[in-house]
Amino acid sequence: MALTRDDYRRALHALLPPGQALPADADSRWQQLLEALAGELARADGRAETLRDEADVRTTYELLADWERVAGLPDPCVPGEQTLEERRAALVRVLIGTGGQSRNYYVELAAALGYEITIEEHHPHTVADDVAHPIKGDTWRWAWTVRSPESTVTYLTVAGTVDEPLATWGNERLECVIERFKPAHTDVLFAYG
- Whether residue 81 is contained in a domain is answered as no
* pTM as predicted: 0.59
Query: Where does a domain end: 32, 54, 76?
Result: 54
Measured at the CA of 114, the angle between CA 112 and CA 119, to 5 degrees, comes to 80
pLDDT in tens, 152-170: 666 556 656 666 666 665 6
Contact 186, 144 (CB under 8 A): yes
How far is residue 74's CA from residue 91's CA, in Å, rounded to a whole number? 9
Domain membership of residue 29 as a residue range? 5-54
Interacting residues of 106 by C-beta distance below 8 A, sequence separation 6+: 100, 117, 119, 146, 178, 181, 182
| Number of domains composing the chain | 2
pLDDT in tens, 19-31: 788 887 878 888 8
Q: pLDDT tens digits for the chain (193 residues)?
A: 788 999 999 998 888 888 788 887 878 888 899 999 999 999 999 898 889 889 999 999 999 999 999 998 888 887 777 888 888 988 998 898 888 889 999 999 888 888 899 999 888 777 777 777 677 777 788 899 999 887 666 655 665 666 666 666 567 888 888 998 899 999 999 988 7
Contact 145, 190 (CB under 8 A): yes
- Whether residue 39 is contained in a domain is answered as yes
- Whether residue 59 is contained in a domain is answered as no
- Whether residue 26 is contained in a domain is answered as yes
